[in-house]
């Protein structure tokens, strides 16, 4: 092989090496991007896990507090309050009904008194 052929062969090899290096660089950058993305996902996942742990701890505290206070007792107190309120409402409704009756009777008596007065006046003139 003469020098010119060797030079052409070396040039082809250099071009192939350059193309291979470009591909290698591209793949390396792709791996770096993937690694950055995975790091971001790892951070987000760690944050999500921490938030979930905090929520679970908060729920456990609420459950413990409800146990201490007595969840069924709270519901019983609410039912008792509802019953008392309902009884008071019925009592007030009864009083309002009696008051309405009193107003109607008072109005009726007043109307009768006015009619009697009118009749008395009419009887005096006729």
Neighbouring residues of 66: CB distance < 8 A, sequence distance ≥ 6: 74
pLDDT on residue 1: 65
pLDDT on residue 90: 94
Mean pLDDT of 14-36: 86
Mean pLDDT of 47-57: 90
Question: Residue 87 corresponds to which tokens in the numbers above?
Answer: 């009884």
Q: pLDDT of 77-108, one tens digit each? A: 899 999 999 999 999 999 999 999 999 999 99
Report the alpha-carbon distance of residue 44 to residue 38 in Å, rounded: 10
pLDDT at 61 exceeding the cut of 90: no
**8 A C-beta contact, residue 8 and residue 15:** no
pTM of the model: 0.40
């Amino acid at each position: 092989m003469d020098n010119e052929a060797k030079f052409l062969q070396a040039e082809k090899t250099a071009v192939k090496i350059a193309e291979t290096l470009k591909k290698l660089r591209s793949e390396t950058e792709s791996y770096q991007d993937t690694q950055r993305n995975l790091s971001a996902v790892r951070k987000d996942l760690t944050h999500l896990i921490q938030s979930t742990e905090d929520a679970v701890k908060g729920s456990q505290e609420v459950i413990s507090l409800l146990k201490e206070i007595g969840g069924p007792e709270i519901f019983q107190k609410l039912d008792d309050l509802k019953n008392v309120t309902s009884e008071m409402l019925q009592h007030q409704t009864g009083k309002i009904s009696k008051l309405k009756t009193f107003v109607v009777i008072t109005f009726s008596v007043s109307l009768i008194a006015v009619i009697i007065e009118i009749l008395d006046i009419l009887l005096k003139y006729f």
